């Protein structure tokens, strides 16, 4: 069976949507997909070393007033943090994570070392478009 490609434009920097992205990545990993993730504007903030999966530094995209309940429920269900999901997916399948150069600059990240070790490189939008054209599944989260 030929491996399918998933291309994810990860715009969000919110904990709820990052968790959803992590769950989808897990499914892709279980299915042996090649995964290319392009981290756009808000997403790049979450990938900064001083943010990552620190829940105090991440907001909710929806139901912002229920963040504590949301996080408590995930913990109760033993659901991994978004960084753990991403890391685990990378252990199982071929996942490449690219930080958009502009997005990095917006949040004060010029170099790869400014981001958590999940990030593979800093790229321009042309790379994303090419990957999106070649992918079997395209998602924008």
Partner 1 sequence: MTAEELKDLKATKVVDARGTACPGPLLEAKKAIGTINSGDTMEVLSADEGTKSDLPKWCTKQGHEYFGTIEESGYFRIFLKKK
# chain residues binding partner 1, by CB under 8 A: 13
Candidates 20, 23, 106, 132: give the one binding partner 1 (CB under 8 A).
Answer: 23
Residue 27 found at the interface with partner 1 (CB under 8 A): yes
d(CA 106, CA 80): 28
Output the smallest distance, CB 24 to partner 1, in A.
9
Considering only CA atoms, which of 40, 76, 38, 70 is closest in space to residue 55?
70
Looking at 27-35, 51-59, 61-69, 130-138, which segment touches partner 1 (CB under 8 A)? 27-35
Question: Which helix (H) or strand (E) element contains residue 35?
Answer: strand 34-39
* Cα dihedral 70/72/78/84 (nearest 10): 70
Q: Which residues bind partner 1 (CB under 8 A)?
A: 1, 23, 26-27, 29-32, 77-79, 88, 92
């Amino acid at each position: 069976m030929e491996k399918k490609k998933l291309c994810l434009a990860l715009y969000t920097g919110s904990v709820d949507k990052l968790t959803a992205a992590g769950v989808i990545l897990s499914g892709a990993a279980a299915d042996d997909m090649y995964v290319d993730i392009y981290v756009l504007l808000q997403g790049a903030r979450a990938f900064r070393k001083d943010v990552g999966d620190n829940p105090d530094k991440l907001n909710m995209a929806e139901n912002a007033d229920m963040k504590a309940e949301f996080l408590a429920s995930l913990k109760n269900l033993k659901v991994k943090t978004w960084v753990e999901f991403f890391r685990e997916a990378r252990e199982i399948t071929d996942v490449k994570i690219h930080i958009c150069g502009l997005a990095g600059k917006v949040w004060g990240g010029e170099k790869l070392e400014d981001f958590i070790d999940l990030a593979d490189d800093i790229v321009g939008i042309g790379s994303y478009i090419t990957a999106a054209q070649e992918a079997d599944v395209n998602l924008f989260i």
